[in-house]
């Protein structure tokens, strides 16, 4: 059932995939999502309705449709991009639609008095956003963004659809080669737990700390 | 209310222990974490007696009601109801925790009205009142309904049985809560700041119902309130609490007009 | 342009036939398992004695902490090796989806039980209600209204999650679209698939919202509480702790246990 030999063979292999692919995708994907999410949130608020409405629809559409399909579409549509690049871009954009919601909630949580005070001081819109609204909104939004990053991390195995050699893809290959999946899948699962559980606990702490 | 329809439980349920107090607190200790709220508290309440607990907030009044209702756990000591142990019994000098079933049997003699009414929002007024009689006491729906309508009449809401709690004013909700507690035929009624959450103009209607209840039944009442006039009107005895101790007790006329204790005097001046 | 539409016309029958069937079976089965798992684990976490609650908590963290795809492969490749029981693709998909999203759902259930005001729990004690009566008649109807927004989000996540079932050899919409790609072209195949997914999510979400409104109106819940429930729902989804109730929650928890 369980062979230690296979286990010890799988650990370094999967650790390598974990660090070189899974973590890289998560970090770069998060960067994209954090920036784009903010862009969506502000654009939907500031653009004229004629532009804001279709943008909001597009963001909602992406959020409500499956990541694997997005991966496949972009992978086939842009032949010149490597699978890894497609994976990072698509997962980043996908999660930016979730983060946009988090930003929106953070922005809406700011009392109208803040906007009114900025208007009363004749601050231009860009200054109001940068100096008044965002510093407050992002503080409220941080834990939520962190949680979406963890969710993204757990969704990186979806990249198996476009054969990016991330950890679970490698675990399945490894299992196929050795005609047993027990050791490799266990290692993959445990590595996910080891990485995501402490991060999630940290986020809960951060959330409590930032709450007041 | 005609007595043949609603026999006073004080004289029917436990005729055998006539000399035993209705409620007795014996060496009661209550701690919340490292804070001691009650430290070796002793007092008793006779059957049919109306006792008002007054004192500054944090002095332990509400905790006493909550201990009686088993909403808080006793840290040490005993509470007796009609001589029966409420949550802990003394056996061979040892303090023994009772089983939930035993606790429940005694607790059914006690009803409580809360500051925040706590009506069930998923039920109509009538359903709120018949819920426990049907599902706890095993009464038939018809029987419980008849009784509930009587009680609603009594609290002046005979026509609101089908309303939802959220459609009622605070005063009306609290009157329904009183009817709901009475539907269980309690021998003891605990009133925990029942008017504190109400707008001033709604306080009177609730106090009116309670005054009527005090005048026409023999239910033992333990009252925590800031309405001093009401306390004076309905109480047989007033107990002044400070830091978990009874610092003065006596007839309302005496306490409210000429207290012996300086703290009591200060407190009464502050709340008036 | 006409190529595009003729492509869509060719693709739709297959997407809406076998593909849609596999997707809907995975979704419906997954949803049933999800709700069952969520209710059982959430109730145990909130109401059971500490040792049992800890077990439930560990199960929840295991399924939330590892990835859906890992769990799917675990049920597909590993469980048969370890136990000799082969569930087959469909059941594997249903169970993996149900357990994964059910673990998130357990947090929704637990958070909603916490959010039922402390006074409600206390009143059931004051009225001497037995546990079953208390839960069935008073607490659950209120908690249910609070948990529907969370389940709404999870249902949409679940629909999206079904796209992984082709990894265990089910021919769902995603699989069919990938097959059709060679025949009718990339955009007709995948855009049709995306629109179908979107419409399913829209229908499910609309039905759930209708149910939410009904349940909440029955409780006379204020707008504030409804918004609060929605916010908590979004948090749980993102993997955060269910709304840690303040003083009310812990009190309710204690009350909930001793009667």
Which chain A residues in 35-94 lie under 8 Å from chain C, judged by CB atoms? 61, 64-69, 72-73, 76-77
Question: pLDDT tens digits, residue range C51-96?
Answer: 999 999 999 999 998 899 999 999 999 999 888 888 899 999 999 9
The answer to the question of residue C42 being in a domain is yes
* Residue C129 in contact with partner chain B when CB distance is under 8 A: yes
> Of A178-182, B83-87, C122-126, which gets the smallest average pLDDT?
A178-182
Whether the Cβ atoms of residue C193 and residue A69 lie closer than 8 Å to each other: yes
pLDDT surpasses 70 at B10: no
* Residue C78 in contact with partner chain B when CB distance is under 8 A: no
More confident residue, A211 or B76: B76
More confident residue, C212 or C228: C212
Which residues of chain B are at the C interface, by a Cβ-Cβ cutoff of 8 Å?
Answer: 69-71, 73, 100, 104, 107-108, 110-112, 114, 116-118, 120-122, 131-132, 135-136, 164-167, 180-181, 184
From chain B, the residues in CB contact with C115 under 8 A are: none
pLDDT surpasses 50 at B102: yes
Report chain B's mean pLDDT, rounded to a whole number.
90
* Residue A156 in contact with partner chain C when CB distance is under 8 A: yes
Which chain C residues in 87-126 lie under 8 Å from chain B, judged by CB atoms? 117, 119-120, 122-123, 125-126
Residue C37: how many CB atoms within 10 A of its CB? Answer: 24
Interface touch B121/C219, C-beta < 8 Å: yes
CATH number at residue A164: 1.10.3720.10
Alpha-carbon distance B117 to nearest alpha carbon in chain C (angstroms): 8
> Of A104-113, A180-189, B21-30, B68-77, which gets the smallest average pLDDT?
A104-113
- Tell me how long chain C is: 259
Question: pLDDT tens digits, residue range C165-190?
Answer: 999 999 999 999 999 999 999 999 99
How many domains, chain B? 1
Question: In this structure, what are the phi and psi dihedrals at residue C131, rounded to the nearest 5 degrees?
Answer: -55, -50
How many domains, chain C? 1
From chain B, the residues in CB contact with C131 under 8 A are: none
User: Taking residues B129-136, what's their average pLDDT?
Assistant: 92
The answer to the question of residue C189 being in a domain is yes
pLDDT surpasses 60 at B89: yes
Nearest Cα neighbor of B74 from B35, B38, B99, B46 is B38
Whether the Cβ atoms of residue A91 and residue A57 lie closer than 8 Å to each other: no
Interface touch C77/A175, C-beta < 8 Å: yes
Alpha-carbon distance B265 to nearest alpha carbon in chain C (angstroms): 34
Whether the Cβ atoms of residue B124 and residue B164 lie closer than 8 Å to each other: yes
In this prediction the ipTM stands at 0.92
Residue of chain C with shortest Cα separation from B67: C126
Question: How far lies C258's CA from each of B158, C115, C132, in Å?
Answer: 36, 18, 13
Interface touch B104/C137, C-beta < 8 Å: no
Q: Chains B, A in contact: 3+ Cβ pairs under 8 A?
A: no
pLDDT surpasses 90 at C244: no
Whether the Cβ atoms of residue A181 and residue A6 lie closer than 8 Å to each other: no
From chain A, the residues in CB contact with C163 under 8 A are: 66-69
More confident residue, B233 or A206: B233
The answer to the question of residue C183 being in a domain is yes
pLDDT at residue B25 in the model: 96
Domain that holds residue C191: 2-240
Locate the DSSP E strands across B50-171.
50-54, 76-81, 84-85, 88-91, 94-97, 110-113
CATH number at residue C149: 1.10.3720.10
Q: How far is residue C120's CA from residue B122's CA, in Å, rounded to a whole number?
A: 11
pLDDT surpasses 50 at B120: yes
The answer to the question of residue C259 being in a domain is no
Strands B50-54, B237-242: pairing kind: parallel
C234 band by pLDDT with thresholds 50, 70 and 90: low
Domain that holds residue A68: 4-211
pLDDT at residue B1 in the model: 40
Question: pLDDT tens digits, residue range B42-59?
Answer: 999 999 999 999 999 888
> CB within 8 A of C110, min separation 6: which ones?
C42, C45, C46, C242
C233 band by pLDDT with thresholds 50, 70 and 90: low
pLDDT at residue A119 in the model: 82
Radius of gyration for chain C, computed over Cα atoms and rounded to the nearest angstrom = 21
How many domains, chain A? 1
The answer to the question of residue B147 being in a domain is yes
pLDDT at residue C138 in the model: 94
Question: How far lies C101's CA from each of A21, A97, A186, B61, B214, in Å?
Answer: 25, 20, 20, 47, 55
The answer to the question of residue B19 being in a domain is no
Q: How far is residue C177's CA from residue C32's CA, in Å, rounded to a whole number?
A: 26
* Residue C138 in contact with partner chain B when CB distance is under 8 A: yes
Nearest Cα neighbor of A14 from A194, A164, A187, A140 is A187
Q: How far is residue B270 CA from its own chain's centroid? A: 25
pLDDT in tens, chain A (212 residues): 788 888 889 999 999 999 999 999 999 999 999 999 999 999 999 999 999 999 999 999 999 999 999 999 999 999 999 999 999 999 999 999 999 999 998 998 888 888 888 888 878 888 888 888 888 888 888 888 998 999 999 999 999 999 999 999 999 999 999 988 999 999 999 999 999 888 888 888 887 887 65
The answer to the question of residue C17 being in a domain is yes
From chain A, the residues in CB contact with C160 under 8 A are: 64-67
The answer to the question of residue C256 being in a domain is no
């Amino acid at each position: 059932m369980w062979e230690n030999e296979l286990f010890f063979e799988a650990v370094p292999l999967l650790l390598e995939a974990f660090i070189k692919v899974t973590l890289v995708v998560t970090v770069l994907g998060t960067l994209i999502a954090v920036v784009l999410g903010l862009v969506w949130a502000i654009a939907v608020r500031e653009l004229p309705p004629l532009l804001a409405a279709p943008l909001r629809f597009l963001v909602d559409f992406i959020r409500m449709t499956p990541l694997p399909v997005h991966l496949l579409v972009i992978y086939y549509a842009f032949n010149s991009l490597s699978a890894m690049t497609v994976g990072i871009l698509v997962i980043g954009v996908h999660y930016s639609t979730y983060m946009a919601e988090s930003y929106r909630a953070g922005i809406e949580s700011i009392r109208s008095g803040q906007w009114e005070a900025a208007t009363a001081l004749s601050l231009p819109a860009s200054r109001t956003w940068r100096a008044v609204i965002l510093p407050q909104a992002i503080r409220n939004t941080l834990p939520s963004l962190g949680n979406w990053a963890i969710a993204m991390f757990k969704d990186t195995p979806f990249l198996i659809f476009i054969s990016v050699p991330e950890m679970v893809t490698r675990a399945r290959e490894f299992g196929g080669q050795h005609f047993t999946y027990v050791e490799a899948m266990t290692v993959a699962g445990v590595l996910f737990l080891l990485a995501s559980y402490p991060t999630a606990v940290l986020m809960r702490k951060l959330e409590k700390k930032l709450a007041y | 209310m005609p007595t043949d329809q609603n026999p006073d439980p004080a004289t029917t349920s436990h005729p055998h222990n006539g000399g035993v107090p209705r409620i007795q607190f014996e060496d009661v200790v209550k701690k919340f974490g490292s804070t001691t709220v009650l430290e070796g508290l002793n007092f008793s309440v006779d059957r049919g007696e109306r006792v008002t607990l007054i004192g500054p907030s944090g002095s332990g009044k509400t905790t006493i009601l909550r201990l009686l209702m088993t909403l808080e756990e006793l840290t040490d000591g005993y509470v007796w109801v009609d001589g029966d142990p409420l949550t802990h019994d003394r056996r061979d000098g040892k303090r023994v925790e009772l089983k939930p079933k035993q606790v429940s049997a005694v607790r059914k003699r006690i009803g409580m009205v809360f500051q925040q009414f706590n009506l069930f929002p998923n039920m109509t007024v009538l359903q709120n009142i018949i819920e426990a009689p049907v599902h706890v006491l095993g009464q038939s729906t018809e029987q419980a309904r008849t009784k509930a309508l009587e009680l609603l009449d009594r609290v002046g809401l005979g026509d609101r049985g089908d309303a939802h709690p959220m459609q009622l004013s605070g005063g009306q909700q609290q009157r329904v809560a009183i009817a709901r507690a009475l539907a269980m035929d309690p021998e003891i009624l605990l009133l925990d700041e029942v008017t504190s959450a109400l707008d001033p103009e709604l306080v009177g209607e609730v106090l009116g119902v309670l005054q009527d209840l005090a005048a026409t039944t023999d239910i033992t009442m333990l009252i925590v309130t800031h309405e001093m006039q009401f306390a004076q009107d309905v109480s047989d005895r007033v107990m002044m609490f400070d830091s978990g101790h009874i610092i003065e007790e006596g007839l309302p006329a005496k306490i409210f007009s000429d207290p012996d204790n300086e703290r009591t005097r200060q407190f009464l001046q502050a709340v008036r | 342009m006409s190529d595009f539409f003729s492509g869509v016309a060719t693709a739709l029958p297959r997407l809406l036939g076998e593909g849609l069937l596999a997707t809907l079976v995975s979704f419906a089965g997954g949803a049933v398992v999800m709700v069952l798992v969520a209710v059982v684990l959430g109730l145990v976490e909130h109401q059971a004695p500490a040792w049992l609650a800890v077990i439930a908590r560990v199960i929840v963290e295991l399924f939330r902490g590892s990835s859906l795809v890992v769990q799917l492969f675990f049920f597909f490749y590993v469980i048969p090796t370890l136990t000799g029981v082969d569930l087959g693709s469909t059941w594997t998909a249903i169970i993996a989806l149900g357990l994964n999203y059910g673990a998130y759902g357990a947090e929704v259930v637990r958070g909603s039980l916490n959010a039922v005001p402390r006074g409600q729990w206390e009143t059931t004690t004051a009225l001497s209600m037995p546990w079953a009566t208390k839960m069935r008649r008073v607490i659950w109807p209120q908690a249910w209204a609070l948990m529907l927004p969370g389940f709404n989000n999870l249902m949409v996540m679940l629909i999206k999650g079904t796209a992984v079932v082709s990894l265990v050899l089910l021919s769902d919409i995603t699989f069919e679209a990938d097959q059709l790609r060679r025949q009718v072209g990339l955009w007709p195949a995948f855009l049709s698939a995306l629109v179908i997914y979107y419409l399913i999510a829209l229908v499910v979400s609309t039905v759930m919202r209708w149910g939410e409104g009904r349940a909440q109106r029955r409780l006379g819940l204020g707008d504030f509480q409804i918004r609060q429930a929605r916010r908590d729902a979004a948090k749980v989804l993102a993997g955060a702790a269910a709304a840690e109730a303040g003083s009310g929650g812990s009190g309710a928890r204690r009350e909930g246990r001793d009667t």
